[in-house]
Amino acid sequence: MTANSQQPELNPFWTHSVDDLLGQLSCSAKGLNSEEAQQRLQQYGLNCDAPPKTESALRAVLRRLLEPLSLILLLAAVVSLITGDTTGGSIIVVILILSIGLDTFQEGQAIKAAAELRHSVALKAEVKRDGRFQSILIGNVVPGDCIRVRAGDIIPADAILLESTAFTTDEAALTGEPYAIEKKPGVVKSLTVAEASNAIFRGSVALTGEAQALVIATGKMTLFGEAALALAEAPIISPFQRDLHNLGLVIARLTLALVLLVLMARVVAGRPLLDSLLFSVALAVGLTPELLPMITTVTLTRGAMRMAKRKVIVKRLASIHDLGAMNVLCTDKTGTLTSASITLAYAIDPNGTKTSRPAKLGAIAAELGGDRGALDKALIDSTPDAARDWQLRDRHAFDYNARRGAILAEGPDGLVLIVKGAPDAIIGLCTAQRDGEGTKPMDAEAHHQAEERVHALSGEGLRAIAIATRPWAKGVYQMDSTAEKELVFEGLCAFADPPKPTAAAAINRLKASGIRLKILSGDDPIVVKRLAGLVGLGTGAVLTGAEVAAMSNEALEYQVQHVDAYGRLTPDQKVRIIRALQARKSIVGFMGDGINDAPGLKAADIGLSVEGASGVAQAAADMILLASDLSVVADGVVEGRRTFANILKYIRMGASSNFGNMLSMAIASPTLSFLPMLPTQILLNNLLYDGSEIGIPLDHVRPESTARPQIFDVRNLVRFAAIMGPLSSIFDILTFLMLLFVFKADPALFRTSWFLESMVTQILVIFIIRTNGRPWDDRPHPALILSSFAALAIAVILPFTPVGAWFGFVVPPLPILASIFVLVLVYLLIAEFLKPFATGIPRPNGKWF
């Protein structure tokens, strides 16, 4: 279903009246019914630039069939058939079909499961359907819908405002202008988008307030198309993905070099060109870990499904590795370390006397200003009817850098400017104060006393905001940039936000897992310090935003290694701290749920948000937590590390096996007068080995593999391959020598025997490589046992069957089988001995031997 040109051409739609637009769209401001909405969805298409990219099974098969290696195999099959080798050509085709079928099925199932998980946390919009507002997927919004947008939402479509309350948007992603734009209903004559104050555009972000709007255009018919949504959810190439890609390139180059070397050596030695070419092609296939993408996708998807059961929804599969590698987690305290059920404890006037006036003024500012933060909700709940007799005339949206916002309201007291925000951002602007005796000048001593009261509240663990006012001239309904000065200090509102009972235990779990927690808060440093002590982070130094701002990048990089708590931070300062940690090679996670958290979520290696967070935060996050609790993060970390451990098993097995095979082939091919293995035998070897590893995504993982951060280290992988690969080659060469000089094997017997030795060693060593412990002490998953021994049984039995003759196998005599058994046993014992040196990890008992 695609968007099409049947949508009405109404641009610039903001120059039309609402009635005109309603008429042209054949709808009403009351919204659509379900039947109308479905008809329009069929007519106009999904609210996206292009239909979702879904690949059919046939297309997936064709894509794999057109890959270079598949084409080479097809060519080899054709050449075999033309030259009369019907059996060889047929076998190549069968192996190709089985390989492609297995890959397509496994990856298809994984992609489907991952898509279902992402769909469960897809961005949604509020639309009025059948007379009531309901939440639907953004893709199902259609022209004629009546939508409701609140602070933090991503605008789902181009729309004309029907009504609004203190509504502002951020269109920086669309226009590049980084400031709040006030939006209100009306008709605009200007054709310029920047002056369309009555319209909202798909992809922009609602900053404050609330609005209802009529959808005019969706999908590619919107003014800016997919631009901002693409920015909000831009694909990120993680270090893990880059390392996997680089590993693939290294293997490809080594394979190409070896294949060319073997081909040239055989041609120079006078071997048949066609045989040498087919052998080289088969060798290239056998040395390529073509299942790596599938194994990686399947393993990550299974990990994502397990994480979903632990209340973590994965949006970006590669982020599972990033979560497992994370060694620093940055979070705001609200809702994560504290209960998030913030309540107004009390309000005091400048003298410290309890009074309701500051809370009432704060509630008026919150209600009329459209602010929907946790403190604003607590103010409104404490005085629900405060704004009943007041009307909004103008507003300055809350500025996260200045840490204050203001409204101009008219009510029983006339026109009044009300400013609320962080105490240190407001008290300094006050020249007078009001208490029970009236208004009086606010001198230096009064300023000092106000600051001391803030500190006292913070010492009690209470969060405080300041309220100030300023009388306003009658009939003047606009504020300028100088409005917030010469204010009257009205007092402080104190809020209770106790720590979660589970916070300390969750932090200890993270600490035991090698993850250091850092609090990046906009709150008073004293409150942050007290909370840090309560949840077990200690009562060390707390850096303030002002101190962070004054530091050079080098100084900050030093401080972030020693300081775990930060207060009075702006969003930009949080990003600086994250980047300073990254500069020190930390893998940083950031947990946030507000509009102001989006920059931090994007800057971090792994962004975590929560269900019910602002739309822009959810769009920027890599994972969505279904519960705002650090224990959920700790559970997710374990699953992330378990998933990566299984991927690493396959990579280690493939790297060491391929490197060993490269060395063996490089030595055997030029020195033998015949092919050490037929092309069909190499392909069969490759197919069976790949089949033996299908159970890896389900395999068990030792506790030590999930105890510390797991990082994809290419150098460790190279060391592993450099030790285990040559070990495999040594036993291949011993097998060659034994077959040639002890048993005087002919080519058919040589190939059969080496095939058996190669298959048995490759499959059985899986059970050594899969664990850092002793293989007999660490039970593998039944699926891995089944897949491995099924492949092993086929390999061993095949030469004794009529089918084996099709592949050029002969029945090996018992002495050769016994000799291979001894060689395999010795190989496995030595591999177990060398394993700690190859991995760089001692055995679980701490010993290397």
Element (H, E) at 391: strand 391-399
At residue 180, φ and ψ (nearest 5 deg) are: -70, 140
| Tens-place pLDDT, residues 294-303 | 677 777 888 8
Q: Which two tokens stand for residue 419?
A: 């400013």
Contacts of 432 (CB under 8 A, 6+ apart): 439, 440, 441, 442, 486, 487, 488, 489
The answer to whether the CB of 82 falls within 8 A of the CB of 253 is no
pLDDT, one tens digit per residue, over 130-151 is 999 999 988 899 999 999 998 8
Assess contact for 367 and 626: CB atoms under 8 A: no
Residues 753-762, mean pLDDT to the nearest whole number: 93
DSSP conformation letters of 612-659? T--HHHHHH-SEEESS--HHHHHHHHHHHHHHHHHHHHHHHHHHHHHH
Q: What is the pLDDT of residue 622?
A: 87
Cα separations (Å) of 571 from 576, 598, 760? 9, 9, 58
Residues of CATH 1.20.1110.10 domain(s) within the chain? 237-305+637-707+716-839
Largest CA distance in the chain: 113
User: How far apart (Å, rounded) are the C-alpha atoms in residues 703 and 205?
Assistant: 44
Say whether the peptide bond before residue 12 is cis (omega within 30 degrees of 0): yes
pLDDT, tens only, 509-558: 999 999 999 999 888 888 888 888 888 887 778 999 989 999 999 999 99
Higher pLDDT, 109 or 444: 444
What residue ranges of the chain are covered by domains with CATH 3.40.1110.10? 343-496
CB 752 within 8 A of CB 807: no
Q: Rank 171-180, 219-228, 296-305, 589-598 by mean pLDDT and report only the highest.
A: 589-598
Give 632-667 pLDDT, tens digit per residue.
888 889 888 888 888 888 888 877 777 787 778 777
pLDDT higher at 521 or 258: 521
pLDDT value for 561: 93
Tell me the three state secondary structure of residue 180. Answer: strand
Q: What is the pLDDT of residue 535?
A: 86
How confident is the model over 59-87, as a mean pLDDT?
A: 73
Q: Please state, in angstroms and as integers, the Cα–Cα distance from residue 19 to each residue in 24, 128, 132, 221, 377, following that order.
A: 9, 18, 21, 21, 35
CATH class of 312-339+500-626: alpha beta
Which residue carries 């081909």 as its tokens? 263
Contacts 24+ apart (CB under 8 A), 224-227: 224/174, 225/49, 226/48, 226/49, 227/173, 227/174, 227/203
At 230 the pLDDT is: 46
* pLDDT computed for residue 174 by the predictor: 66
Q: What's the whole-number mean pLDDT along residues 252-279?
A: 75
User: Is the dihedral angle over the CA atoms 181, 185, 186, 190 positive or is it negative?
Assistant: positive
Look at 681 and 810; give whichever has higher pLDDT: 810
Neighbouring C-alpha atoms within 13 Å toward the C-beta of 148: 13
| SS3 sequence of 712-763 | CCHHHHHHHHHHHHHHHHHHHHHHHHHHHHHCCCCHHHHHHHHHHHHHHHHH
DSSP character at residue 354:
B
Residue 688 pLDDT exceeds 60 = yes
| DSSP assigned state of 346 | E
pLDDT for 805: 92
Lowest mean pLDDT among 233-247, 601-615, 765-779: 233-247
The C-alpha atoms of residue 76 and residue 479 are separated, in whole angstroms, by: 79
Q: Where in the chain is the domain with CATH 2.70.150.10?
A: 1-234
pLDDT at 449 over 90: yes
CATH code, 1-234: 2.70.150.10
Q: For the segment 569-623, what is each residue's pLDDT rounded down to a tens digit?
A: 888 899 999 999 999 999 999 998 877 788 899 899 999 988 777 777 888 888 8
pLDDT at 228: 42
Please tell me which residue, 6 or 355, carries the higher pLDDT value: 355
Whether the pLDDT of residue 208 is over 70: the answer is yes
Q: What is the pLDDT of residue 683?
A: 77
C-alpha closest to that of 316 among 601, 630, 582, 712: 601
CB of 100 within 8 A of CB of 291?
A: no
Lowest mean pLDDT of 62-66, 273-277, 777-781, name the range.
273-277
Confidence category of residue 765, pLDDT binned at 50, 70, 90:
very high
Do 368 and 166 touch, CB atoms closer than 8 A?
Answer: yes
pLDDT digits (tens, 9 = 90+) for 319-352: 888 888 899 999 987 667 887 678 899 999 999 9
What percent of the chain is modeled with pLDDT above 70?
87
Q: How far apart are CA 772 and CA 708, in angstroms?
A: 14
What contacts 51, CB < 8 A, 6 or more positions away? Answer: 1, 2, 45
For residues 187-203, give the mean pLDDT.
86
Mean pLDDT score, 76-93: 74
Least confident of 107-121, 431-445, 583-597, 785-799: 107-121
What single DSSP character describes residue 420?
Answer: E
Edge-to-edge strand list for the sheet holding 516-520:
312-314, 623-625, 606-610, 588-591, 328-331, 516-520, 565-567, 542-544
Residue 817, Cβ neighbours under 10 Å: how many? 14
User: Does the pLDDT at position 203 exceed 70?
Assistant: yes
- The Cα–Cα gap between 86 and 71 comes to 18
Higher-pLDDT residue of 845 and 675 is: 675
Q: How confident is the model at residue 832 (pLDDT cuts 50, 70, 90)?
A: very high
Residue 785 has pLDDT above 90, yes or no: yes
* Average pLDDT of the residues in 226-249: 58
CA–CA dist 335, 168 (Å, integer): 25
Closest by CA to 128, choosing from 210, 212, 13, is: 212
| Look-up of token digits 């680089």 | 246
Does 332 qualify as catalytic in the annotation?
yes
Among left, alpha and beta (phi > 0; psi -120 to 50; other), residue 475 is: left
Determine the average pLDDT of the residues in 808-812. Answer: 95
Q: What is the pLDDT of residue 234?
A: 47
Q: How far is residue 373's CA from residue 406's CA, in Å, rounded to a whole number?
A: 15
- DSSP secondary structure of 222-270: SSSTTHHHHHHT-----HHHHHHHHHHHHHHHHHHHHHHHHHHHHHHTT
**Structure tokens, 32:** 């659509």
In CATH terms, the superfamily for domain 237-305+637-707+716-839 is Calcium-transporting ATPase, transmembrane domain (1.20.1110.10)
Q: Is the pTM value of this prediction over 0.95? A: no
Single-letter code of the amino acid located at 734: L
Strands (E), 152-192: 158-170, 180-182
Tell me what the mean pLDDT of segment 380-394 comes to. 89
Q: Using CB atoms within 10 Å of the CB of residue 173, give its burial: 0 to 12 exposed, 13 to 18 middle, 19+ buried.
A: buried
State how far the Cα of 588 lies from the Cα of 437, in Å rounded to an integer. 53
- Its CATH architecture, for the domain 343-496, is 3-Layer(aba) Sandwich (3.40)
Q: d(Cα 174, Cα 190) in Å, to the nearest integer?
A: 18
Nearest-angstrom CA–CA distance, 819 and 817: 5
Highest mean pLDDT among 284-293, 444-453, 771-780: 444-453
Residues 6+ apart with CB under 8 A from 518: 328, 329, 330, 331, 560, 563, 564, 565, 566, 577, 581
For the chain, give the mean pLDDT: 84
Q: pLDDT confidence of 827, banded at 50, 70, 90?
A: very high
Angstrom distance (rounded) from CA 697 to CA 611: 28
Q: Which residue has the higher pLDDT, 51 or 146?
A: 146
Report whether pLDDT(712) > 60.
Answer: yes
Range of weakest confidence among 101-115, 180-194, 630-644? 101-115
* Cβ 505 vs Cβ 362: under 8 Å: no
CB 526 within 8 A of CB 533: no
Which is catalytic among the residues 332, 593, 605, 732? Answer: 332
Helix axes 630-671, 714-737, angle to 10 degrees: 40
The token pair that represents 49 in the structure block: 């630039």
Contact criterion met (CB below 8 Å) for 577 and 556: yes
The residue count of the chain comes to 849
Amino acid identity of residue 16, one-letter, is H
CB of 285 within 8 A of CB of 75? no
Task: Render 76-124 in DSSP notation, one character per residue.
Answer: HHHHHHHTT-HHHHHHHHHHHHHHHHHHHHHHHHHHHHHHHHHHHT--E
Nearest to 701 by CA among 600, 780, 808, 789: 780
Helix axes 292-309, 239-268, angle to 10 degrees: 160
- The band of 3, judged by pLDDT with boundaries at 50, 70 and 90, is very low
Question: Are β-strands 487-496 and 343-348 bridged in parallel, bridged antiparallel, or unpaired?
Answer: antiparallel
